[in-house]
């Protein structure tokens, strides 16, 4: 994350103002999340990874978005209650953002600019299904769907971008997280 990325204004899910500056020096996994998606059970793995790795300097950050088939229609309050009540989410959650729709949130604009292409799941079928149903990203660099992940190293650089069906326990993401934690 460049200094400007640390300075991008954000809102936490409780409505308070913040920036990513509080995570400087940590490995950060930014995930656009949704409560009514087939991938929503990934919250469980994301929370488990956060609990297991936070002492080593990793943080998961959840950014709800309603950009994909209206799968995050609720208010911040209802999203927070769902995440805590259903999956025990303790990792930081933020107010809803636009990841693809206009106006794209400046955080996502910066993340996409830094890493325009994602690593697909080599065994996954999600991207093909999205294409088949006319739901593939419209523009080069667009986020494909809910639960796409951006990995940011301790030095603030985006070091990875992973398809939505690459779970936090997938070997390719585990390897990237471990490498980032080792730096």
Using one digit for the tens of pLDDT, what is the confidence trace for 76-127? 999 999 999 999 999 999 999 999 999 999 999 999 999 999 999 999 898 8
CATH number at 127 reads 3.40.30.10
Q: What is the pLDDT of residues 105-116, one digit of tens each?
A: 999 999 999 999
**37 catalytic, yes or no?**
yes
Element of type H or E holding 33: strand 27-33
Of residues 11, 12, 18, 37, which has the active-site annotation? 37
Q: What is the pTM of this model?
A: 0.95
Q: What are the Cα distances from residue 75, in Å, to 130, 138, 153?
A: 26, 27, 31
In the chain, the number of structural domains is 1
Provide the domain limits for residue 143: 3-182
């Amino acid at each position: 994350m460049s200094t400007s990325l640390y300075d991008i204004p954000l809102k936490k899910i409780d409505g308070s103002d913040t920036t990513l500056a509080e995570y400087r020096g940590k490995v950060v996994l930014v995930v656009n999340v949704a409560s009514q998606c087939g991938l929503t059970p990934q919250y469980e793995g994301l929370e488990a990874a956060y609990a297991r790795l936070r002492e080593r300097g990793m943080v998961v950050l959840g950014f709800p978005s309603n950009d994909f088939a209206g799968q995050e229609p609720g208010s911040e309050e209802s999203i927070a209650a769902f995440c805590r009540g259903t999956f025990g989410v303790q990792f930081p959650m933020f107010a809803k953002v636009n990841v693809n729709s206009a106006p794209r949130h400046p955080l996502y604009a910066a993340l996409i600019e830094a890493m325009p292409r994602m690593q697909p799941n080599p065994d996954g079928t999600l991207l093909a299904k999205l294409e088949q149903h006319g739901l593939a990203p419209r523009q080069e660099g667009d986020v494909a769907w809910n639960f796409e992940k951006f990995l940011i190293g301790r030095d603030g650089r985006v070091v990875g971008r992973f398809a939505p069906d690459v779970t936090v326990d997938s070997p390719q993401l585990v390897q990237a997280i471990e490498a980032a934690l080792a730096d």
